[in-house]
Amino acid sequence: MFAWFALSALLVFAALYWLFFVKPAQQRASAKAAARAGTARRAVYAQTQALQHDVHLTGPAYGALLRLARGDRQKVEFWIIEVQRQMPGHTRSDAIALLAERTAVPMAATA
């Protein structure tokens, strides 16, 4: 009779251990793997997607600013907005040209 209770208790303990410790760990591991796979898929998609035609860029001047910011478009947009705030009345194209002229002098001196 004692052996039956001991065996039952052991089985109940094993079931509870699996239910509360092993199964959640497996779910966390599979969720992390899925998140990593999703990130990799998004990164590949972002790297291979062509630029859309409605992107508002302004030729070589914008390209020079983008190179100076090491590809960070958000930083370039911040610079453009700051120039427009400091010098009201300038259009976006004027601000880009002005920034490109300012950055061309130090780049030419180092070349």
Q: How does pLDDT run across 19-64, given as a tens digit for each residue?
A: 888 878 788 877 777 777 665 555 555 555 555 554 556 678 888 8
Q: Say what the pTM is.
A: 0.44
**Exposed / middle / buried, residue 7 (Cβ in 10 Å: 0-12, 13-18, 19+):** exposed
- What is 34-56 written as a DSSP string? HHHHHHHHHHHHHHHPPPPTT--
Q: Is 70 left (phi over 0), alpha (psi -120 to 50) or beta?
A: left
| Contact status, residue 96 vs residue 59, Cβ threshold 8 Å | no
| Contact status, residue 97 vs residue 83, Cβ threshold 8 Å | no
| Higher pLDDT pick, 15 / 37 | 15
User: What is the percent of the chain with per-residue pLDDT over 90, rounded to a whole number?
Assistant: 3
